[in-house]
Amino acid sequence: MAAAMEWVWANPSSVHRAGQEARHAVETARSATGRLLGVPAREITFTSSGTESIDLAIRGVLGTKPATGDGPPLIVTTKVEHAAVRDLVATLEARGEARVAWAPVRPGGCVDLDALAPLIALRPALVTIQWANNETGVVQPVAAIHALCSTAGVVFHCDGVQWIGKSPVTAPPCDLLSASPHKYHGPKGVGVLWARRGVRIRPTLVGTQESGRRAGTENVPGIVGAGIAAEEAMATPRGEPELRDLFERLVKEECPSAAVNASVDAPRLWNTSSIAFPRLEAEAMLVLLSERGVCASAGAACSSGSLEPSPVLLAMGVPEPLAHGAIRFSLSRETTRDEVERAARIVAACARTLGASTGEVIR
């Protein structure tokens, strides 16, 4: 990326040699990203973020589906989606641009396929469901959802931001797929949207770049970084859940009342762990952890100084007192066993300091 900033500074749409070098750099990154997603490179659009890719997928598909006699187009989704989906569809509904049907989620965090099937049979304009959850790591049954959508002739957008680059893909089980290179050691400020050939989207930024799907001069250094990140993600063996499981076991040994937010049989991403500590305010724990060198998140929005419990955990049926004390830990493919053991010791010590290591289990 530093070399691209220094040397590949021209506009990839320019015909001169420097411009064509920039074009080559962008297309090399597109090829690598296509291989990572298991799709033809020409079907990849670069955007500014996972959020923008999701916005382009959802509003882009809606733009091709005018309102019918039943009212604005229907979107089917869940309440465990990332805010990039959840808040967007809620806003579209509030503006009268869409109707939203929320498919129920089972207590373990997976969408209820029996309840989803009749919603898909209504032939909505779009189904949008994530591949893996950013707070709990719970993996949705995307192949089954895609099969239901294909049978009904319904477009399925999958938010793959947490899955892509961390777990392999041979052929995406969807029609549109969003990804974000900063989730797989790439840079921020660049996003990826794949649209299956034949799936129509109306651009939200109108112009000539990215085959007319997303206007604006490309972020060449960011795209170059996305390409290298894709290459490295493919070269690095898939992460195994052993270190995550070790971390959870060590924390629970020291804090018996702590609970992992996902049912034991739910398939989960190898790198994500959401642990609830009863009687604990997540914010206090995050500050203490940070002082001791552990960077974690609460999966919650900070509003007027108080942390609201995560809507994702509430939608999964996690009781509010537990959701208030839920901390989200992420491992990377570079995390070592030693780091996991040290982090677990620090987490236990902080929980003890805050008086949350003992007491009865709430669930």
Site for ligand PLP, rule CB under 6 A: 49-51, 82, 84, 130, 134, 159, 161-162, 180, 182, 191
Chain-centre distance for alpha carbon 211: 25
Closest CA to 163 of 129, 194, 132, 128: 132
Closer CB to ligand PLP, residue 180 or residue 357?
180
Task: Please report how close the Cβ of residue 358 comes to ligand PLP at its closest, in angstroms.
Answer: 33
Beta strand pairing call for 176-179 and 156-159: parallel
Judge whether 302 counts as a catalytic residue. Answer: yes
Task: Please report how close the Cβ of residue 250 comes to ligand PLP at its closest, in angstroms.
Answer: 25
Closest CA to 106 of 141, 152, 71: 141
Sign, CA torsion 39/117/309/259: negative
Closer CB to ligand PLP, residue 133 or residue 257?
133
Distances (CA, A) of 287 to 291, 306, 342, 350: 6, 14, 17, 10
Closer CB to ligand PLP, residue 180 or residue 261?
180
Tokens 């979107």 belong to residue: 75
Q: Which amino acid is at 79?
A: K
Closer CB to ligand PLP, residue 162 or residue 209?
162
Task: Please report how close the Cβ of residue 41 comes to ligand PLP at its closest, in angstroms.
Answer: 20
What DSSP designation does 279 have? T
> 110, 149, 255, 302: which is the annotated catalytic residue?
302
Task: Please report how close the Cβ of residue 310 comes to ligand PLP at its closest, in angstroms.
Answer: 13
**Which residues touch 73 (CB under 8 Å, ≥6 apart)?**
62, 65, 66, 67, 98, 99, 124, 125, 126
Closest CA to 221 of 29, 14, 352: 29
Task: Please report how close the Cβ of residue 308 comes to ligand PLP at its closest, in angstroms.
Answer: 17
Q: What are phi and psi of 164, to 5 degrees?
A: -65, 135
Q: Which amino acid is at 110?
A: C
The SS3 call for residue 152 is: helix
Q: Tokens for 20?
A: 């064509």
Closer CB to ligand PLP, residue 172 or residue 278?
172
What DSSP designation does 96 have? T
The SS3 call for residue 276 is: strand
Distance between CA atoms of residues 17 and 84, nearest Å: 39
Closer CB to ligand PLP, residue 134 or residue 257?
134
Task: Please report how close the Cβ of residue 58 comes to ligand PLP at its closest, in angstroms.
Answer: 12
Helix H or strand E encompassing 194? strand 191-195
Residue nearest to ligand PLP (CB): 50
Sign, CA torsion 280/282/287/290: positive
Task: Please report how close the Cβ of residue 159 comes to ligand PLP at its closest, in angstroms.
Answer: 5
Closer CB to ligand PLP, residue 195 or residue 344?
195
Q: Tokens for 316?
A: 């999964």
Annotated catalytic residues are 302
